[in-house]
């Protein structure tokens, strides 16, 4: 089997796994709700729970596979699904913050940015970029567990939630930091995933031709 066909098959397989359906939107929204609660309460266990819930990696895997196989229509579809899902997560975090304000659980006058977990995700840091790179590389492996997806979600959903929450803070301009981190991390996942797929295909070709 030539490597080109292998890449196309991987792309087609990923395309079958990606769907902009109710289940995906509900899970992404709930991950945003959980991430919002975690960032506002500095709860790492809840943040981990949000990452487990979020199916954030699969659409980006489709983007990488589409680019590697030169199937730009598939890559575009994956990007669209990922964007809608991350917007749903952001909206979930915003609604959560508003509800907590309205119910008095979170005082409206409280400085939302003055939260350690939140502050970490409105500034692009190397640790987050490294996690995104690792998720992109590992996404090429044929695994049935969700560990790789959790790592990817850790790099994506908290940044989306932090951007949304910061829009409601005393310094809404700082939301750009969270959104920038989100874009950087998503880009790193796609780039490393695409390069890994391409290198694997090149290695397969050399092995097949005996070079």
Q: How confident is the model at residue 200 (pLDDT cuts 50, 70, 90)?
A: confident
How far apart, in whole angstroms, are the C-alpha atoms of residue 74 and residue 84? 16
Q: 122 pLDDT exceeds 90? A: no
Q: Is the torsion defined by CA of 117, 93, 167, 109 positive or negative?
A: negative
Per-residue confidence band for 77, with pLDDT thresholds at 50, 70 and 90: very high
**CB of 82 closer than 8 Å to CB of 17:** no
Looking at per-residue pLDDT, the higher value among 21 and 101 belongs to 21
- pTM of the complete model: 0.84
Give residue-wise pLDDT tens across range 26-57.
999 999 999 999 998 889 899 888 888 899 88
Residue 100 pLDDT > 60? yes
Fold of 3-209: Glycerol uptake facilitator protein (1.20.1080)
What angle do helix axes 3-17 and 175-209 make, rounded to 10 degrees? 140
Four-point Cα dihedral 198, 24, 86, 88, nearest 10: 170
Domain locations in the chain as residue ranges:
3-209
Report pLDDT for 104: 82
Average pLDDT of the chain to the nearest whole number:
82
- pLDDT per position as a tens digit, 145-176: 556 677 777 788 988 998 888 888 877 777 78
Mean pLDDT within 56-61: 90
Q: Are 89 and 28 in contact (CB under 8 A)?
A: yes
């Amino acid at each position: 089997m030539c490597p080109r066909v292998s890449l196309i098959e991987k792309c087609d397989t990923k395309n079958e796994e990606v769907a902009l359906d109710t289940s995906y939107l509900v899970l992404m929204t709930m991950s945003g709700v959980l991430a919002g609660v975690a960032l506002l309460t500095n709860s790492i266990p809840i943040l981990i729970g949000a990452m487990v819930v979020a199916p954030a990696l699969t659409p980006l895997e489709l983007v990488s596979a589409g680019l590697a196989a030169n199937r730009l229509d598939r890559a575009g579809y994956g990007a669209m699904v990922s964007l809608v899902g991350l917007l749903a997560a952001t909206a979930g975090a915003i609604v959560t913050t508003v509800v907590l304000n309205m119910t008095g659980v979170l005082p409206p006058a409280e400085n939302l940015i003055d939260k350690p977990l939140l502050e970490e995700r409105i500034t692009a840091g190397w640790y987050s970029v490294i996690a995104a790179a690792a998720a992109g590389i590992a996404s090429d492996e044929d695994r049935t567990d969700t560990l790789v997806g959790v790592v990817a979600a850790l790099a994506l959903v908290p940044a989306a939630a932090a951007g949304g929450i910061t829009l409601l803070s005393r310094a809404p301009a700082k939301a750009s930091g969270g959104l920038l981190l989100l874009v950087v991390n998503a880009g790193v996942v796609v780039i490393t995933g695409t390069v890994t797929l391409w290198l694997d295909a090149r290695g397969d070709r050399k092995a097949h031709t005996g070079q």
